[in-house]
Structure 1
Amino acid sequence: MNYQKSIDLFEKAKNFIPGGVNSPVRAFRAVGGNPLFITRADGPYMYDEDGNEYIELINSWGPMILGHNHPEVREAVIKAMEKGSSFGAPTAKEVEIAELITEMVPSVEKVRMVNSGTEATMSAIRVARGYTGRDKFIKFEGNYHGHGDSFLIAAGSGAITMGNPDSPGVTKGTAQDTLLAPYNDLEFVEHLVEANQGEVAAIILEPVAGNMGCVLPKPGFLEGLRKLCDKEGIVLIFDEVMTGFRLSQGGAQQAFGVIPDMCTLGKIIGGGMPVGAYGGKKEIMEYVSPEGPVYQAGTLSGNPIAMAAGLTMLKQLWDDNSIYSSLEATGNAIVSGIRDSLKSLGLSYTMNHIGSMYSLFFTHEPVVDFKSAQTCDTALFGKYFQAMLRKGIYLAPSQFESLFLSTALKQEHVDRILEANEAALRELV
């Protein structure tokens, strides 16, 4: 494949944009080579500036659950744009999408629209602190909740050790109220809460992790957190920016039958536009200004173009019960096919999968948390990524990102993905 236009654009971009990209993982540093500059996408395909075609398994990092450039979403955006791009005032579609979200998501009785998943998680923690009158919160290693200062915290040593800043620019003062726990380790969380008795406002987690690769909760983990939060008066927050509307109409909380006090949403909720939201129990959300004392605002929150796209997307998911069974079947076909190839080639890499999310980990160990994810051979993954790319399959350019499937993938695409996978794996043997 020829990538010259992308190479030239990347060189030019580095003169004006930090690292040449507007989000770090796009730089391809984890997999080598140069990032591809995309010019258009349709259904299961993306096309770069050099005219190369790819079947892609990222779907804009999750939002495009119905495939790219979905005709009904596109038409809704065009119609909304004809009326104006921003009003800075309430619109009927904001009410309509809020009502639909409360119908779809079990934990949400009231919801506030924002512009990104990062805004949603930052705001949810602030509301939980205001509601409980406590300062500290617990997050989990390997769970990503956006780039808010209090979330960029590295691991401390021991159950009562405060976090340390994981990025320059994050102050120690910000870090000291963030407590860190290993994912899937309920006993550690219990000790952490006990060591900080009466000080923990919230526990926030990805119910299915997607930012250390796809990592599922162990049986009883989510249920144990729910029980602990009930006992200690802690607000349980599910970050469903990735899993919301993807694992089921009501997200991971519906799929696992564990209902948090609050949840954060993004990606699919915007139908490809930059949208986020946070919501939860009425008594908690009534602490949000102007109804309550916890301040949060946004000039473009509830933007009419974004609301049109998101509402159209959610209506599709709400009205068609076959979407999730179709996604499940596609996921099962791809994952079982990859496992068959691994077995036939005598390889024992690890695979995690749920619904339309999966990850192939280049490690022989089960991946259940951040520590086990770090045993992956990232250099070998980089070779696999490049081999798949040469065969026209576009994966997430990092070992530590989940893949996301769409309903646009048909049997012919699944067959091509599996053929490319086997050929790529043979190159690694």
Structure 2
Amino acid sequence: MSFKPQMKIPATYMRGGTSKGVFFNLTDLPLEAQVPGAARDAMLLRVIGSPDPYGKHTDGMGGATSSTSKTVILSKSTQVDHDVDYLFGQVAIDKPFIDWSGNCGNLTAAVGAFAIANGLVGAARIPHDGVAVVRIWQANIQKTIIAHVPMTNGEVQETGDFELDGVTFPAAEVVVEFMDPSDGEGDMFPSGNLVDTLEVPGIGTFPVTMINAGIPTLFFNAEDLGYDGTELQDAINGSTEVLKRFETIRAHGALKMGLIKDLSEAEARQHTPKIAFVGKPKAYVSSSGKAIAQTDIDVNVRALSMGKLHHAMMGTAAVAIATAAAIPGTLVNLAAGGGERSVVTFGHPSGTLRVGAEAKCVNGQWQATKAIMSRSARVLMEGTVRIPNLTSD
């Protein structure tokens, strides 16, 4: 049996916020991968190196964590008054599937830079110096995102002194606005309640705030789950039993939110909903050794992504946190001290993050109008990614 030579596909490896992934221009993909389906998924799985029973991604571009097993496909926008369409794929590490059900808020920070560098934004919209306003259509969730990308001498400015906890080195600041981040029509609380009760057979019954903002998220009180909200990754990820418990809770939450019709569907919908727990502000030492004082934060939040406690915070989950914090009576708002607020600073395993959000109640239903945060992004490598042909002679 003879085998075909490897395929070469133009690609860019980028960091966005506290994530990194492989970015593609839609028109650079093989024809069969330019449309959704099995061929596209198979190609992207092979690029990342999944499924990998060793959990290392040794034979691919993935980093064997939920933050680094990501793919992005960009194209000129098909939407009026938008520049680029952004499609995100969260690649499972040890299973052969890609979850297309949600957005990656962190990688959103890199979308504008890629779009500008690859000719997806009209030249008239790109200043020689200043800030380019890139209008992004997030195709997974059908929402508008605005990225403010700094420009110098006609090129994207990537270097700078903006520091982001969870990222080792400083870079240029990219302000990202998530417009109307509520998921779907009507009330962003699926049940219409700010706090519900979730019964999980064999585990317990818990108060929960279920919100569709940024990304569908389940918020629990840390103390109800046996934690205080200052935990680092090893406290959660070191126990298979603990992770299984969280996944069981998440699956029942997904069912209660109406995201799945049967518990068995949760296994193939790992990216959403997210599960998080909140605690009142309390001092701790971050994973980098940085001391976080109680007065530095309004609330502690820990969130899981793809079955593991995240090393920092997912950008979309940060939108959910800020939105929930802005609405009096949610578990996030109560943990942050209650009352009305338009900005929240929360603690996560790598440090702190400040996020703003605006929400309003219209005819008895809460709606999020905008969430805003600062991230950074840069190109790590660009050229071609190689993968074996998926068929043999």
Return the TM-score normalized by structure 2. 0.27
